[in-house]
Amino acid sequence: MGDCGMPSVPFDDYVASLGHLTARIDPTASTPAAEDIKDAVATLEALPAVNLDSLTAWSLAHPDQTYVLALVVGLSREKLTNHLRHWFNTGSWRKAALEQSADFMERLDVEFDLVRLLNTQRNEAYTFGDVLVARAGTRAIATTAGQSGRKIEDELEAIAQSLRLPYVPRGRFEGRNGRTAPADLAVPSTGRDCVIAVAAKGFDSTGSKLSDAVREIEEMADARTGGQVTMAVVDGIGWKGRISDLRRIWTLWDTGEIDGLYTLATLDQFKDDLDHFATLRGVIRLP
């Protein structure tokens, strides 16, 4: 058990301190990614005819934008990448377009009906309802996945830097009996040299990643030695949909199996505790 740490607060108070991590988005505002899609669509709409020959020529002229054809047939970029690896042994649509454009277009057409779907969609008139349905099923104009988690990691790194602490982000530390566990921030280093391990788990949506986060923090608590400190910064409104998982983390704090549990609202306390633990453990500060 650690030497100080913020005393645990009632669980309901901790839940009340959770905040919204990701920026609120104006869905009508444009982004560079959205503009790239619109530019690609404009060139597709300008084609005098849509067939395999014209699409092959288009892909050679616009190799960086060929991912848009996957959107036409309902594939995400990730799924397109997986298919490209299967078809051509590469995850790059640019490379496939430049080196195997005819085969690339034929594969999309044979397996996903590209020509018919593109002809249908580029001549279609869409209603406001169609826009909202599409928006419900795509993140083309939304923030990138993982932004909320990175926000916490960035804050923790900034605190470590302000305290002049050596650290390694996103690694694993070694605890008792050679057991290892993940650490989103390890001071002063990962492996057996780690004396302070910090988890950063921020989610504004629910899903299996929250259960994975709980498991990782439990691994940290179970692996640490008596001389190691474990801390966790857990925030985001997604946890309000997984209260039982959040309570498991809070219980680790309440029973002293981890040394501190924080949200972005209590980062001042985290900074004080991190500074205190680093001093107690003799961490040598950077110049």
> Per-residue DSSP letters for 135-192?
HHT--TTSPPTTHHHHHHHHHHHHHHHHTT---EEEEEEE-GGG-EEEEEEEES-SBT
Does residue 180 form part of some domain? yes
Examine the domain organization and report whether 154 and 269 are in the same domain: yes
Give the pLDDT confidence score for residue 128 in this predicted structure. 78
Q: Predicted confidence band at 212 (pLDDT cuts at 50, 70, 90)?
A: very high
Cα torsion for 46, 50, 55, 58, to the nearest 10°? -10
285: in domain: no
- The count of other CB atoms within 10 Å of the CB of residue 193 is 13
Angle CA(207)–CA(250)–CA(219) in degrees, nearest 5? 70
Which 3 state secondary structure label does DSSP give 106? Answer: helix
Residues 102 and 164 in one domain: no
Domain closes at, from 111, 136, 161: 136
Confidence at residue 25, expressed as pLDDT on a 0 to 100 scale:
55
Digit-coded pLDDT (tens) for 149-159: 678 998 999 99
Q: Which residue has the tokens 């014209």?
A: 54
Q: Collapsing DSSP states into helix, strand and coil, what is residue 10?
A: coil
User: Per residue in 92-117, is it b (16+ CB within 10 Å) or e — as a string?
Assistant: bbeebbeebbeebbbbbbeebebbeb
- Domains of the chain: total: 2
CA 181 – CA 171 distance, rounded (Å)? 9
Look at 2-11, 50-59, 92-101, 240-249 and tell me which has the smallest mean pLDDT. Answer: 2-11
Same domain, 101 and 241: no
Determine the Cα–Cα distance for residues 148 and 238; give it in Å rounded to an integer.
10
pTM more than 0.85: no
Residue 5 lies in a domain: no
**Tens digits of per-residue pLDDT, 228-257?**
999 999 998 889 889 999 999 999 999 999
- Examine residue 217 and state whether it is found in any structural domain, yes or no: yes
CB-based contact 222:179 (threshold 8 Å): yes
CATH value at residue 155: 3.40.1350
Tens-place pLDDT, residues 84-140? 988 998 889 999 999 999 999 999 999 999 999 999 888 777 787 766 766 665 544
Strand partners, 146: none
C-alpha closest to that of 204 among 20, 16, 2, 10 = 20
Q: Residues 239, 272: one domain? A: yes
**Looking up tokens 């209603």, which residue turns up?**
127
Q: Which range is least confidently modeled, 17-31, 43-57, 170-184?
A: 17-31
Q: What is the domain range of residue 98?
A: 32-136
Is 43 domain-assigned?
Answer: yes
